[in-house]
Each structure stands twice: as C-alpha cells, then as structure tokens.
C-alpha cells in the first residue's frame, strides 16, 4: 500500500510540474509580467505549484477582480509575507497576483487564465501578439 501511495504522490507531483511549466511558458507570452520564485526548468523540483507574479500594466487587485469576474480564482496581496513583499518594493502596488495549481487543474484552465490576462492587458492598452 505504501508503494502505491508513493507512486500516486509522484504522479501528482509530475503532473503539477507540467502545469507549472505550461503556466510559466504562457505567462512569458505577455509583456510586462514578472514571475517571482524559481523559473529555471532544471530547478522546478525546488518550488511548489503556486506561481506569483506582477504586471507592469495592472495592479494585482485589478487583475484579480478581472479574473474573478470570469470565474477564475486567484489571490492578490502579500499573503502574510509583509516583509519580503515590502523588500521587493511591491507593497505600494498591492503585492502580487498568485495562482495555485493543483492536481485537479488542467492545461485548458491555464490557457483560459492566460486568455483572460491577455484581455485584461489589451484593455490596459498593452500590445499583445496572438
């Protein structure tokens, strides 16, 4: 039983890592996004499937509101990491936008998130290709 549990957890971890890679690749398509945390594909074993980022063209709160109106759940703020967010100079703009990917999420949901972010960027007058 322990072997099956371990194998199941490893499969979940691999799947979540695939989702994170997909999200990081898709976020890179949008100008003005800065991802915080590990992005080096060779180091992804050292990160969780939670991705935090900022946008030059929007505050985290405005983006979260836009995404929420489309039924996409994200979080904005400092997530009780007040000192690191302040040290990064992000407190004045409202912190970060955070996406948590889990084993029940799909690549299609990531694509829907990206599409909505691109719509938000366009509404903020950012030139997006594709």
Mean pLDDT in residue range 28-51: 96
**What pTM did the predictor assign?**
0.91
- pLDDT given at position 30: 96
- pLDDT tens for residues 64-103? 999 999 999 999 999 999 999 999 999 999 999 999 999 9
Helices vs. strands in the chain: H and E counts, helices first: 4, 4
The arrangement of strands across the sheet holding 96-100 comes to 33-36, 50-55, 96-100, 75-77
SS3 (DSSP) at 2: helix
Tell me: pLDDT of 1 over 90: no
- pLDDT given at position 108: 98
Tell me: pLDDT of 107 over 90: yes
- pLDDT given at position 125: 78
């Amino acid at each position: 039983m322990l072997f099956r549990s371990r194998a199941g957890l490893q499969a979940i971890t691999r799947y979540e890592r695939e989702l994170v890679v997909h999200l990081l690749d898709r976020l890179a398509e949008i100008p003005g996004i800065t991802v915080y945390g590990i992005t080096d594909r060779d180091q992804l074993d050292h990160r969780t499937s939670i991705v935090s980022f900022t946008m030059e063209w929007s505050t985290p709160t405005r983006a979260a509101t836009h995404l929420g109106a489309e039924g996409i759940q994200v979080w904005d703020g400092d997530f009780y990491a007040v000192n690191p967010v302040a040290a990064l100079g992000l407190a004045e703009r409202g912190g970060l936008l955070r996406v948590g990917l889990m084993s029940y999420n799909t690549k299609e949901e990531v694509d829907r998130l990206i599409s909505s972010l691109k719509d938000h960027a366009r509404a903020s007058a950012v030139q997006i290709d594709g």
